[in-house]
Structure 1
Amino acid sequence: MNALLTVLATVVALPALAAQSFTFDSIDGGTIDLGQWKGQPVLVVNTASKCGFTRQYNGLQDLYERYAPQGLVVLAVPSNDFKQELASGDQVKEFCAVAFDLTLPMTDITKVRGAQAHDFYRTLRETKGWEPQWNFNKVLVAPDGSIAATWGSTTRPMSRPIIAAIETFLQ
C-alpha cells in the first residue's frame, strides 16, 4: 500500500508532459506518436541487445501480454548510448523476434542521453532531472501524460513496484 501511495504522490507532484507531442521513428518504419496512447499508461524502456539486462525483454513481453488488454502499452526504445546495441534497427528487430518473440511496439535505435537525446528523454532531463543511467531504465507515463515513476536497470519489469504502479492506471 505504501508503494501505491508513493506512486500516486509522484503522479500528483510531477507536471504533465501531455502538452508536448513525442514522436519516435518506428523500428517497423513510419513513426510512433506517444499521443496515440493518451488515456493509457505507457511504460517506456531504453533497451540494448548486448546488455546483461537484455533478458528483461522476457519480462517486458510478459507485462505487455498480461496488461495490454487493460490498456497498458510497453514501448521498447533501443539505444546504443552505452555501446551495447546492434548496428541497425533491422538487426535489433530480428534479434528481438528470434530470441524473445517480442510483439510489443519498438522504436528504431534512439539516443536517450546527452545533447543529442530524443526530445522525450531531453524533456525528462530538463524538467525532472532524470535520464537513463544505463540500459533498461523504465519510465511510466500516466494516462494524463504525467510521469508516474521511473526505475533503474535492476528493477525487473514484473516486479511489485512496477506492477503496483501500472495497476493504478488500468481500465
Structure 2
Amino acid sequence: MHPFHQLSATSLHGKTINFSEFAGKVVLIVNTASECGFTYQYQSLQDLHAKYASQGLVILAFPCNQFGQQEPGNAAQIEQQCLINYGVSFLVANKVAVNGEQAHPVFQYLKSVLPGFLTANIKWNFTKFLIAADGSAIKRYAPYIKPEKLELTIKQALHQANKN
C-alpha cells in the first residue's frame, strides 16, 4: 500500500477518514480558512466536486488557523460557513496545523513529497495538493491558483485512473 493511503484524518463530525478508501481515486487536498481572501475558492472546489466526484475525484479540505488567524471558529462554525455560504458537500476535516511541530501527519507527508518553492512549509491558506489514484503526488499548487485551473490535470489523472 502506498504511504499516502496509510494516512488518516478526522472529519468535522469526529469520524475517521481512512485514506485507504481513496485507493483508485484522484485526491485534491486543500488547507482552507473561512475568513481568507481566497475563501471564494470553496465555490470552485464545490464545482469540481460536483463535476468529477462520480468519476473518482475526492476533495478534502483541512481548515487551518495558522495564517492570519483566518479560521477562528469551532467545527460547527466552520461547517456552517462551508455549507451556508458555499454549499460544500465534499469532505471537510477537523481544523489542523499544517506547519510546525504540531503539523498534521497528512501535511508532513505532503510537504515531504511536494516541497514547494524555496521551502517545504505551506505559506498561506488554499495551498492545494493533487494526488494520483495510485497515491503518488502529482503537483502542489500555490494559493492564488484557482481550482478551476487544475481541471485539465484532474481530468488527465482521472482518465489515467480509469484506464487501470
Measure the CA separation in 2 of the matches of 1:126 and 1:157: 22
Measure the CA separation in 1 of the matches of 2:98 and 2:6: 17
Which of 106, 112, 123 aligns to 2:92? It is 106
Runs of 4+ off more than 6 Å: none
Measure the CA separation in 2 of the matches of 1:128 and 1:135: 16
1:1-171 equivalences under 5 Å are 17-18=3-4, 21-82=6-67, 83-129=69-115, 130-159=120-149, 162-170=150-158, 171=162
Q: Any idea what SS the aligned residue of 1:169 has?
A: helix
Count of paired positions: 153
Matched letter for residue 87 of structure 1: G
Q: Quote the RMSD (CA, aligned, Å).
A: 1.4
TM-score, scaled to structure 2: 0.88
TM-score, scaled to structure 1: 0.84
What displacement does 1:22 show?
1.2
Between 123-132 and 93-102, report the one with greater CA deviation. 123-132
Measure the CA separation in 1 of the matches of 2:141 and 2:128: 5
Gaps of 5+ in 2: none
Percent of aligned pairs sharing the same letter: 36
Change (3 A) 1:153 1:49: same
Between 118-127 and 62-71, report the one with greater CA deviation. 118-127
Q: Any idea what SS the aligned residue of 1:74 has?
A: strand
- Is the 1:124–1:131 contact (alpha carbons within 8 Å) kept by the matching residues of 2? no
